[in-house]
Amino acid sequence: MQRPPPPGAVERHTRAWLADFVVGLNLCPFARPLLSSPALRIRVSAARQPADLQRDFLHALDELQAAPESAIATTLLVFSDALASFEDYLDFVDQAQYLLEQAGLDGIVQLASFHPDYRFAGEAEDAASHYSNRAPWPTLHLLREDMVTRLVTSHPDPEGIPAANIEQLEHLGRKALEARWLALFR
């Protein structure tokens, strides 16, 4: 069993990742306005058991749905003590998607997934592109579908975002990305 992280470290690492990778590398052109906004909700779950993980997910989902967008625009649910295995994490993402659908929120809330060991199927193990979905901790991003639609329709080339991200990450290179990654934990 691994030791729990020091108090505040999980949120601090997550905010550093948002600032340095997501916004700093412009991996999400819509994230900058929320970076310092109180409408960005970061919830750290110390759950370890599957039922507790599901409970924390459903609580974050309820909290997002109960609040107006001005109060909670989006939620990052960060798991500090579970889902370290990428395969276990992907299984949980499937469970979370199922729970979302069972709650009747498919098309209302969208999930995005991030993990320290994120790997895109079919990509080389050391591909720089994996960093577009790597986060310091296993993380589920709960997004309001109507907000995503509004932002995407106002972007000049939303379909080009993934390719631009891969190009940016490949240009930086694996060594520079690894150094940047390690700096998140200082």
Is 4 inside a domain boundary?
no
Is 80 inside a domain boundary?
yes
pLDDT tens digits, one per residue of 89-118: 999 999 999 999 999 999 999 999 999 999
Residues near 94 by Cβ (< 8 Å), separated by ≥ 6? none
Q: How many CB atoms lie under 10 A from the CB of residue 96?
A: 21
Is 148 inside a domain boundary?
yes
The answer to whether 61 and 145 are in contact (CB under 8 A) is no
pLDDT tens digits, one per residue of 159-173: 999 999 999 999 999
Question: Domain range for residue 158?
Answer: 9-183
Residue type, 136: P
Measured distance CA(91)–CA(41) in Å, rounded: 24
Q: What is the pLDDT of residue 7?
A: 73
Closest alpha carbon to 44 in 3, 87, 9: 9
In the predicted model, what is the mean pLDDT of the chain?
95
Residue type, 65: Q
Is 13 inside a domain boundary?
yes
Q: What is the pLDDT of residue 5?
A: 83
pLDDT tens digits, one per residue of 21-58: 999 999 999 999 999 999 999 999 999 999 999 999 99
Q: For residue 132, how far is the Cα from the chain centroid?
A: 10
Phi, psi of 5 (to 5 degrees): -70, 155
Q: What domain count does the chain have?
A: 1
pLDDT band at 2 (very low <50, low <70, confident <90, very high): low
Q: How many CB atoms lie under 10 A from the CB of residue 73?
A: 19
Global model pTM greater than 0.75: yes
Is 1 inside a domain boundary?
no
Is 3 inside a domain boundary?
no
Is 141 inside a domain boundary?
yes
